[in-house]
Amino acid sequence: MSTTTELQQTINDMVDDTRGVLAIDESSPTIAKRFAAIDVESTEENRRHYRSVLLSTPDLGKYISGVILFEETLGQKNNEGMSLAELAWQQAIVPGIKVDKGKGPLPSAPGDSITYGLDGLAERLEGYKAQGARFAKWREVYAITDTNPSCLGLHANAEMLARYAAVCQAAGIVPIVEPEVLMDGNHDIDRCAEVTEHVLHSVFHALHKHHVSLEHMVLKPNMIVPGIDLRTADPEEVASETLKVLRRTVPAAVPSINFLSGGQGPEEATRNLNAINRSAGNAPWQLSISYGRALQQPALHAWLGKAENDAVTQQALLNRAKLNSLARQGKYESE
């Protein structure tokens, strides 16, 4: 099978008009915080059990088309000895892998950051692919201040995303490109729109320079929302501003835009997705999700680290996945 055929098959399996991507790729420090909130110790066994419960949810594949795994999770198995990647694919959920190595300050650009992990990426992708991963995810983050992101920050982060995407496609791995404009701060929705437009322009310029095939990637952006200290926008305004920015910046060749939830709660993220799809008209891309906390939070609070809660945990996840599937179609009603 040629690399192009391999990439297209993954896109075919991941992208449709009803399903989305589940992100369970929290790093060890992040999932430790999530577990601490429910008084559960973040041991390797607890992490394995929790994630295997999620991936074995009956009928999850009706609403979820892909799952982003952490490196540790890709190597784990369920109680019956099946790898968690295989467990996902049993329901036609494509396994993927987070490949970045976290972020740090960008030199000469105060307030901006840069993500690490390009060194050895091609070799790591070979190993991930052998374990069943068919797509990857890399996140760059952009803080909003009066002066950030800087021109250097825009350029450097776009270059990292483009280089990562090119390495992935050469390996037959579909890249999820995630430029996240953070919600932190008291900026208004217009400032978020302005920054996100600059970010996406720089990202697609870099992707073009690095000859990344737009038909064989997925974009994972933020929605256009006010800073978390304001949070005054209604779903219709979020939809209007988000679609305006996307139409100005994202080529029609991109098959799917899978929004991150950022700091949005589960209900808020679903309402906003629904409004976007109701307003999208004949948008050239699928408008879907790649949610982590906004899908997992109800399940995590149902689980509480207890095996006797596994069934209600799965039901909580399935319910949120189904509601977001309705929102994918503009058919969600909050009641």
Quote the tokens at residue 248.
């100005």
Spatial distance between the Cα atoms of 295 and 278, rounded to a whole number of angstroms: 21
What's the structural domain count of the chain?
1
Per the CB < 8 A criterion, the answer to whether 135 and 218 are in contact is yes
88 within some domain: yes
Q: What is the pLDDT of residue 314?
A: 98
pLDDT higher than 90, residue 233: no
Mean pLDDT of 75-79: 95
Mean pLDDT of 292-310: 97
Please, which pLDDT band fits residue 223 given cuts at 50, 70 and 90?
very high
Reduced to 3 states, what is the DSSP secondary structure of residue 141?
Answer: strand
Residue ranges of E strands in 161-285: 174-181, 218-219, 256-259
Q: Encode pLDDT of 97-139 as tens digits.
A: 999 999 999 999 999 999 999 999 999 999 999 999 999 999 9
pLDDT higher than 90, residue 229: no
Query: Which residues span the domain enclosing 255?
Result: 3-328
Task: Mention every residue, 6+ apart, whose C-beta is less than 8 A from residue 238.
Answer: 189, 223, 224, 225, 272, 275, 276
Spatial distance between the Cα atoms of 138 and 90, rounded to a whole number of angstroms: 25
Check: pTM over 0.95? Answer yes or no: yes
185 within some domain: yes
Spatial distance between the Cα atoms of 317 and 158, rounded to a whole number of angstroms: 33
Quote the tokens at residue 24.
């369970």
Q: Tokens 């690095």 sit at which residue? A: 210
pLDDT higher than 80, residue 230: no
Q: What is the pLDDT of residue 216?
A: 98
What CATH number should be reported for the domain holding residue 77?
A: 3.20.20.70
Please, which pLDDT band fits residue 34 given cuts at 50, 70 and 90?
very high
pLDDT higher than 90, residue 232: no
Q: What is the pLDDT of residue 155?
A: 98
Q: Encode pLDDT of 168-222 as tens digits.
A: 999 999 999 999 999 999 999 999 999 999 999 999 999 999 999 999 999 999 9
pLDDT higher than 90, residue 231: no
**178 beta partners:** 139
Can you say how many angstroms the Cα of residue 303 is from the centroid of all Cα atoms in its chain? 23
335 within some domain: no
Q: What is the pLDDT of residue 206?
A: 98
Q: How far is CA 114 from CA 12, 102, 172, in A?
A: 32, 8, 25
159 within some domain: yes
97-59-257 Cα angle (round to 5): 45
111 within some domain: yes
Can you say how many angstroms the Cα of residue 184 is from the centroid of all Cα atoms in its chain? 18
Q: Tokens 């295997």 sit at which residue? A: 52
147 within some domain: yes
Can the peptide bond before residue 179 be classed as cis, meaning omega within 30 degrees of 0? no
Residue 319 CB neighbour total at 10 angstroms: 15
Quote the tokens at residue 97.
């892998």
Mean pLDDT of 255-281: 96
Q: For the chain, what percent of residues have pLDDT higher than 70?
A: 100
Catalytic residues: 178, 220
